[in-house]
């Protein structure tokens, strides 16, 4: 979850590293630090808080070296202090290290090192790893044509239990970085007379668009002019160089106040990109190029299993509803974090799907590996080309929505809803969904971006509502069928960025306990589309109103509420069932965003959260 940047070349390293850290601040912002080799020593600047604090500290250190490493921290071991911030130096001053991940056996390693007279200034597992590399480095003989640092890191990592993405420097090798990964993403950026390493493409795309995605168990050595990749077992790896298909401008905020606001308003275009080229010529079904499974194999599937975390799990829950409705196949959704630890009975002819925007979510990756270990085929829905989940899945679907920087997912979520709806159509047309029904379904999906544009025009109205309710401390989100997961998502968004207590429930479940929470100080947001259960939802609303609970109603056009029942009304276009969850997501995103803004919260960097959860 931390941000990692390393540079070796001819330019001043610190400005490039600080620029990269700013672009990675969504990955961790408890503290930040940079270490640069200059004048025969490591010059280190570290500071708690945001990268802006580090910039001021770095200016005092006058960093001019051309090789260095930088880090933004999301605390795991040890509190948020300057001492616990990365980079860490070994107690003999020979090794500098940054690290993302968790070293599970660091206690025994530390005990060993204390007996060897190594000392520690922090509470972190990372400093233990740094000293262990220094221990091996001191013992490693210098051999012409070989990297003493590379071999020291390799020997150290053979003793490590846990996960890591690391970048290491040695004091007497000023033009060399060594980097390695296991369970934590790392990308090499290949430039002219310079090479970089980072935990996210966003940190290096301003310098180069030629990248190599490291795999678990790989270790790389970088100098200004060369790089080489091998395994911990010393097997050489032939690198695959990929081209980044977006520019730094795609990750800029532009005219918006926050990345989250920008990404909310990018959703019409994001949806268009996600469906481009993915419908059949006759306009009756969806088509996907990377599933690596034939229609005949799909017809043999008797059950689907979806695993994901957080927002992506809510998208899976909507997909469950649509597949069961339109394809008539049982679907189960599970928290990826729980799946690998439960002894879940699994049916034959089950196809697994995992969803993850980053493609690096550690719990989802673990669920993927567990399913494959048990012999099941696993397909992935994710947004990042070259991510670990994309590489390890048997096939999958890219979202193609471009970089999403805001920690609270918006455009990635609605694109996951769209892809889930397209999957339901694809599978349904193989079963018993008629040609005509397929055509109507496709036309509805194609019209989704314009429907979203219509809802976005209501942003000023929704902002006015948000101002009236921003002072409350509790809020309920209520929906039914395919909109129940949207209620969960609305509550999650509000919690994430405004720190209000919020819960999502099926509307009919209110009377089974949660109604005890209702008061004048606890507003309820109802998702109430016109349809067969509209009157049931109205009954739930009346139960809330009878107990003086304020009501914000999100209703489709033509739905008539009893006069005075809702205190606030947000109207969305009436639409096809497959599109409804997408359209209904927009008001809850805007409501959460504007409440957070009104409360003065840091929308893009909410406390205690990071964009990509890469530690368990």
243 is catalytic: no
Which has the closest alpha carbon to 77: 116, 36, 106?
106
Looking at 501-598, which runs of residues are DSSP E strands? 501-506, 524-528, 551-556, 568-572
DSSP string spanning 166-213? EEEEETTEEEEEEEEEEBS--EEEE-SS-EEEESSGGGTTTT-SEEEE
Catalytic residue among 110, 495, 545, 611: 611
611 is catalytic: yes
Whole-angstrom CA distances from 504 to 114, 164, 475 are 50, 35, 9
Measured distance CA(551)–CA(160) in Å, rounded? 54
The residues, ordered by sequence, that sit 6+ positions from 263 with a Cβ below 8 Å of its Cβ are 270, 404, 405, 406, 410, 411
- Report the C-alpha dihedral over residues 17, 23, 27, 28, rounded to 10 degrees: 60
Which has the closest alpha carbon to 120: 145, 84, 152, 94?
84
Which residue's structure tokens are 């790089």?
227
Measured distance CA(289)–CA(293) in Å, rounded? 10
Cβ density class 506-520: b for 16+ within 10 Å, e for less: bbeebeeebbebbee
Work out the angle at residue 392's Cα, subtended by the Cα atoms of residues 390 and 396, and round it to the nearest 5 degrees.
Answer: 45
Around 54, how many Cα atoms within 13 Å sit in the side-chain half-sphere?
34
Structure tokens belonging to residue 386:
């070259």
Measured distance CA(515)–CA(543) in Å, rounded? 8
Measured distance CA(94)–CA(132) in Å, rounded? 11
DSSP string spanning 432-475? T--HHHHHHHHHHHHHHHHHHHHHHTTHHHHHHHHHHHTT-SEE
The residues, ordered by sequence, that sit 6+ positions from 565 with a Cβ below 8 Å of its Cβ are 538, 541, 542, 545, 551, 553
Q: Is 165 helix (H, G, I), strand (E, B) or coil?
A: strand
Asked if residue 1 lies in contact with residue 586, where contact means CB atoms within 8 angstroms, the answer is no
Asked if residue 383 lies in contact with residue 359, where contact means CB atoms within 8 angstroms, the answer is yes
Pair type for strands 524-528 and 474-479: parallel
Structure tokens belonging to residue 538:
């109205």
Structure tokens belonging to residue 352:
């697994």
Which has the closest alpha carbon to 176: 226, 218, 133, 140?
226
Around 347, how many Cα atoms within 13 Å sit in the side-chain half-sphere?
14
Measured distance CA(330)–CA(413) in Å, rounded? 23
Measured distance CA(544)–CA(538) in Å, rounded? 10
The residues, ordered by sequence, that sit 6+ positions from 395 with a Cβ below 8 Å of its Cβ are 290, 291, 292, 293, 377, 379, 380
Alpha helices in 302-361 (DSSP H): 310-326, 336-339
Catalytic residue among 2, 309, 522, 601: 2
List the catalytic residues: 2, 611
């Amino acid at each position: 979850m931390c941000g990692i940047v390393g540079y070796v070349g001819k330019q001043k390293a610190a400005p490039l590293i600080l620029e990269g850290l700013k672009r990675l601040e969504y990955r961790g912002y408890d503290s930040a630090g940079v270490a640069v080799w200059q004048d025969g020593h490591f010059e280190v600047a570290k500071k708690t808080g945001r990268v802006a604090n580090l910039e001021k500290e770095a200016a005092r250190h006058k960093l001019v070296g051309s090789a260095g490493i930088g880090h933004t921290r999301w605390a795991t071991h040890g509190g948020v202090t300057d001492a616990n911030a990365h980079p860490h130096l070994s107690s003999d001053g020979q090794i500098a290290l940054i690290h993302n991940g968790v070293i599970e056996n660091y206690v025994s390693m530390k005990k060993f090192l204390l007996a060897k007279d190594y000392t520690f200034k922090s509470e972190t597992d990372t400093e233990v790893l740094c000293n262990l590399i220094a221990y091996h480095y001191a013992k490693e003989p210098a051999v012409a044509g070989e990297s003493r640092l590379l071999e020291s890191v390799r020997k150290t990592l053979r003793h490590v239990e846990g996960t890591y993405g690391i970048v290491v420097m040695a004091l007497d090798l000023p033009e060399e970085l060594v980097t390695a990964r296991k369970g934590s993403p790392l990308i090499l950026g290949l430039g002219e007379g310079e090479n970089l390493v980072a935990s996210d493409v966003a940190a290096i795309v301003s310098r180069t668009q030629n990248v190599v995605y490291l795999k678990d168990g790989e270790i790389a050595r970088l100098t200004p002019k060369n790089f080489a990749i091998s395994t911990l077992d010393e097997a050489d790896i032939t690198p695959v160089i990929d081209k980044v298909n977006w520019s730094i401008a795609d990750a800029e905020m532009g005219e918006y106040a926050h990345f989250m606001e920008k990404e909310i308003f990018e959703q019409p275009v994001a949806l268009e990109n996600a469906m481009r080229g993915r419908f059949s010529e006759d306009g009756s079904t969806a088509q996907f190029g990377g599933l690596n499974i034939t229609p005949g194999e799909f017809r043999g599937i008797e059950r689907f299993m979806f695993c994901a975390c957080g927002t992506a799990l809510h998208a899976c829950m909507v997909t469950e509803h649509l597949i069961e409705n339109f394809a008539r196949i049982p679907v189960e959704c599970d928290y990826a974090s729980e799946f690998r630890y439960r002894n879940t009975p699994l049916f034959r002819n089950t196809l697994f799907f995992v969803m993850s925007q980053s493609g690096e979510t550690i719990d989802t990756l673990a669920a993927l590996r567990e399913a494959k270990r048990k012999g099941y085929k696993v397909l992935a829905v994710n947004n990042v080309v070259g991510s670990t989940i994309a590489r390890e899945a048997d096939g999958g679907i890219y979202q193609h929505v471009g970089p999403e920087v805001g920690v609270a997912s918006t455009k990635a979520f609605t694109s996951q809803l769209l892809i889930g709806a397209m999957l339901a159509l694809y599978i349904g047309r193989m079963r018993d969904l008629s040609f005509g029904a397929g055509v109507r379904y496709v036309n509805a999906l194609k019209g989704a971006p314009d429907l979203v544009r219509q809802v976005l025009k209501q942003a000023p109205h929704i902002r006015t509502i948000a101002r009236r309710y921003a002072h409350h401390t509790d809020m309920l989100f209520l929906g039914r069928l395919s909109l129940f997961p949207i209620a969960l998502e609305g509550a999650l968004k509000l919690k994430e960025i405004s720190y209000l207590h919020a819960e999502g429930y099926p509307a009919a479940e209110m009377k089974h306990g949660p109604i005890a929470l209702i008061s004048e100080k606890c507003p309820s947001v109802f998702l109430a589309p016109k349809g067969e259960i509209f009157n049931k939802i109205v009954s739930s609303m009346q139960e809330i109103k009878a107990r003086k609970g304020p009501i914000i109603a999100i209703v489709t056009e033509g739905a008539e509420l009893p006069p005075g029942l809702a205190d606030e009304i947000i109207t969305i276009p009436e639409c096809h069932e497959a599109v409804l969850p997408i359209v209904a997501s927009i008001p809850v995103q805007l409501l959460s965003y504007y409440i957070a803004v009104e409360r003065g919260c840091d929308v893009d960097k909410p406390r205690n959260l990071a964009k990509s959860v890469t530690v368990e």
